[in-house]
């Protein structure tokens, strides 16, 4: 899924019980082997994305989507705060029919009630995922004192911890 800067989503999901692995990367574009510079300087169509591996016995896909809709603004097209551009769009890449159905239900029954403005999150089939460069992986944990982490990521983590405390690792 993609919801703005992948560092934000990665940091939150790394703290969710049942999530085994989170990888930052790129999806939804037309260029093979994209990198950070290409997606930000060229029109590749990729979004900054996280790939989440989870144990459905501990955390459901629906709960992962509720977290997603709670920690980013799904009502702003191609934007999250100061991050502007198609690469920061809100999108759920589903892997099968069941995930698509769940994504549509959570969007309509959870997100639409949580946000007063219309939801612009795309729900689209997963095609390819390209891991981001190593310096993007585990970014928050390695850079907690960086201004972006303190000003942008910390409030999302605080919101997650308050709203989903039963899911904290």
| Burial call 128-143: b when 16+ CB within 10 Å, e when fewer | eebebeeebbbbbeee
Angstrom distances, CA of residue 55 to CA of 60, 95, 96, 98, 111: 8, 16, 17, 16, 23
Q: Of 5, 59, 119, 123, which one is the catalytic site residue? A: 5
Q: Phi first, then psi: what are they for 101, rounded to 5°?
A: -60, -45
Can 5 be counted among the known catalytic residues? yes
The catalytic site residues sit at 5
């Amino acid at each position: 899924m993609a919801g703005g800067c992948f560092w934000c989503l990665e940091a939150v999901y790394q703290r969710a019980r049942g999530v085994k692995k989170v990888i930052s990367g790129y999806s939804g574009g037309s260029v093979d082997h994209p990198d950070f510079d290409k997606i930000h300087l060229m029109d590749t169509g990729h979004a900054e994305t996280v790939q989440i591996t989870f144990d459905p016995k501990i955390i459901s896909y629906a709960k992962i989507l509720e977290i997603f809709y709670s920690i980013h603004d799904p009502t702003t097209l191609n934007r999250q705060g100061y991050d502007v551009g198609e690469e920061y769009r809100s999108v759920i890449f589903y892997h099968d029919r069941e995930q698509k159905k769940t994504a549509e239900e959570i969007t309509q029954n959870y997100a639409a009630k949580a946000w007063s403005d219309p939801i612009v999150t795309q729900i689209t089939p997963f095609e390819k995922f390209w891991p981001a460069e190593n310096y993007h992986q585990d970014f928050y944990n390695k850079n907690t004192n960086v201004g972006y982490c303190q000003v942008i990521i910390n409030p999302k983590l605080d919101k997650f911890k308050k709203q989903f405390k039963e899911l904290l690792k």
